[in-house]
A and B are shown apart, each in its own frame.
Chain A
Amino acid sequence: MDWAALGLSLKLAAWTLAILMPLGVVVGRWLAWRRFAAKPLLEAALALPLVLPPTVLGYYLLVALGGATPLGQAYERLTGHPAVFTFDGLLIASVLFNLPFAIQPMQRAFEAIPREVRLAAYCCGMTPLQAFGRIEFPLAWPGILSAAVLTFAHTLGEFGVVLMVGGAIPGETKTIAIAIYDRVQAFDSAGAGVMSLALLALSMGAITVSYFATRRIGHDG
C-alpha cells in the first residue's frame, strides 16, 4: 500500500472540494436562474470535461501551463515554482476536470427551487444572504452533497489528466490511481489489488453516504 500516494490523493480531493464547492454554488445558482444568449455556450464549455478524453485535457493544460507560455511563466514568477509537474498544477487540472461534476448537480438543485419560493423569502423580510442560508441552501443541499461526493470520488480516480500534468513524482504528483498503474507495471499484483480495493471502498462509501443523506432529506421534506 502506497500511503504517500493515498495521502496525496486525499489532499488533492480536499483542496479540490475547498475550491470547487463555493465556486460551484455561486456558478450553479447563477446558471440556474439567469437567462442570457451565450448561456448554452457556457454550459457546453463547462460540460466539456465530461466528453473530452482526459489525455487531451491534460495535453492542453500541459501546454498552457508549461514554462514556454506567458501563463506558465507568470505562474512561475508569482509562486517561485512551475505549475506543471507540481501539486499546484495537479490542483488546477483537478478543479478544471471536476467542473461539470460540481456545477451540474448544484445547478439542477437550484433550478428545482420554485421562483416564487425564492421571492417569498425576500417578502418575509430576509436579506439575500439570509434567504440563501435559510431557504435556498437547505433546499439545494441534496444537490450540493451529490456534487461534493462526485467531485471527491472523481478526483481520487482520475488518471489521464493527472499523469499528463503531474507526471508521477512520488510524494508530489503521484496519486493513488497512478500508483496502482505503477504497481501493475511492476508486476506487483498484490499491491495493486490492495490499493484498488481501498479506492473501491472509499468510492462506494462516499456514494452510499450521499444516497442515504439525500434519501433522509427527501423523506423529511
Chain B
Amino acid sequence: MMAEASSPGLTLQVRQRAPIPLEAQLECAPGELVALVGPSGSGKTTLLRTIAGLLRPAEGRVSCNGQLWLDTEKKVDWPPFRRSVGYVFQSYALFPHLSALDNVKAALGHLPAAQRDARAAQLLARLHLAGLEAHRPAQLSGGQQQRVAVARALARDPAVLLLDEPFSAVDQVTRGKLQRELARLRVSLNIPVLMVTHDLDEARMLADRIVILHHGNTLQAGTPEEVLTRPRSVNVARLVQLTNLFEGVLQAPPEAGGRHRLAWLDYSLEVDDPGGFVPGDKVCWVIPPQHVILHQRVRPSRGERENPVAGVVRECTPLGETTSVTLLVNDDRRYPLELSVPSHVARRNHLAAGERIGVSLLAGGIHLMPWEPLGGPTGE
C-alpha cells in the first residue's frame, strides 16, 4: 500500500536493482522511534541517506509531514539542504576545524545571525556540554563528540531525526549512558526518529517499532516484542537470532474448541495460535528461549504437563546471572534446543553436559511460519 503524502510523520518507499538492490518501505510517526535493524550491507544507511536526499534511488518516494521530498515518478527531488533532516552520522562527521559551538551554529543558518550563539549554547547545554563550547572535536571524548553531533542534528529544528549507528563508536559504559540520554531526549521530541543499528538489544530497549532489513528488503515491521518473538519468516527468525527453529506439521485440535497441535518428532505439541495455517500444513516453527521452561529435577510440578520434551544437555554455559543451556531433544544432534535459566537454578538442579533433563515448551511461545527448508542443524 502506498501511504498518502499528507499523512503526518515520515513515509518512504524505494525500489531499485542497482547499484544496491532495494525493495523497502517504512513509516515513522511523529514522536515514534523506529529502529532499522539488519546485518552489515543490508541497506540501512542507504535508506537513511535516501531520506536525507544524499542518495537517489532509481524509484522511490519520500514524504514528511505532507511534504513530498522525493517522488521519482513526478520528478520531485529536493536537495538535502531543503529537507528538514537532522542526521547523526556513524562517525559523527563533526567539522574538525570548528569548535563545538561553531559545529552547532553551522546548522543554524535558518536563524538570524544574532540569535545563533545563544541557541547553539542552549543546545549544547541541553546535551550536557556546557563549558565545552570552545573545544574542537579532536579535544572531545567519543561520548562528547556524539553529543555535539546530536546537538548539531537538532539545531535545524528538523522534521525528522536520523541516527546512523549512534552508539557504535563508544565504549560500553559510555554507550549505556548515551542510550539512556537518548531515551530521555526523545520523549521531548515530537518528530519521527529513525535509528539504524545492528544491535538487537539496543533496538529492543529504545525503539517503539523495529523494521528488519535484509539485502535491501524490509522484511517485517512491528513492535520489538512482535518482531523478536513472532518473526514472519525463517529468514527474519534467523536475523533476530532465534535459534530454536524446527519443522513440523499442524494438526487439528483433538476435541472441538481445543488447542491445535503441532506434530514434531514423536511429540504432539499444543499450540495457542495456529497463525492462519490449517491442519495438514507443513510449517516451520520457532520458540524463543524464554518460553522454554526447565523441569525442576528435585521438585516436580504440575507445569510439566505443558508440551514436555526430554533430552540430554549438550552444553551448559554460565554467563553471569544466567546460564545458557543447549539441550539435544531425544538425544538427537539435529534438534538442539536452547534455553536460559538463572544460574542458581542451574546449580541447584546440577545441570551439566551429559545430564538428561525435561523441559516444557510453552504453548503460547510456539510461533508458526510458512515452511521452507531449514538446511541442516540450526543450533550452531
Residues of A at the B interface (CB closer than 8 Å) are 114, 116-117, 119-127, 130, 134-135, 138-139, 220-221
Contact = CB atoms under 8 A, between A and B. Distances in A.
Interface string B78-107: 011100011101110111110000000011
A102 B89 CA distance: 32
B54 A125 contact: no
B97 A138 contact: yes
Interface residues of B, number: 28
22 contacts: A114-B93, A116-B90, A117-B95, A119-B87, A119-B93, A120-B87, A120-B93, A121-B106, A122-B52, A122-B80, A123-B80, A123-B86, A123-B87, A123-B153, A124-B106, A124-B152, A125-B109, A126-B106, A135-B95, A138-B97, A139-B96, A220-B97
A46 B245 CA distance: 60
Interface in B87-135: 87, 89-91, 93-97, 106-107, 109-110
Given A120-B95, A126-B81, A139-B97, 16 more contacts: A114-B93, A117-B96, A119-B52, A119-B54, A119-B80, A122-B53, A122-B54, A122-B79, A122-B80, A123-B54, A123-B80, A127-B79, A138-B97, A139-B96, A221-B97, A221-B136
Given A134-B106, A221-B96, A124 B89 contact: no
A71 B374 CA distance: 72
Contacts of A130: 81, 109
B345 interface: no
Contacts of B96: 117, 139, 221
Contacts of B140: none
B244 to A, nearest CB: 40
Interface string B150-166: 00110110000000000
Contacts, number: 69
B87 A125 contact: no
B278 interface: no
B252 interface: no
B91 A114 contact: yes
B95 to A, nearest CB: 6
A125 B89 contact: no
Contacts of B95: 117, 120-121, 135, 139
A23 B156 CA distance: 34
B93 A125 contact: no
A127 B106 CA distance: 12
Contacts of A120: 87, 89, 93-95, 152
Contacts of A135: 95, 106
B353 interface: no
B183 interface: no
List 4 tightest A-B contacts by C-beta distance, closest first: A124-B107, A116-B93, A122-B80, A120-B93
A103 to B, nearest CB: 23
B185 interface: no
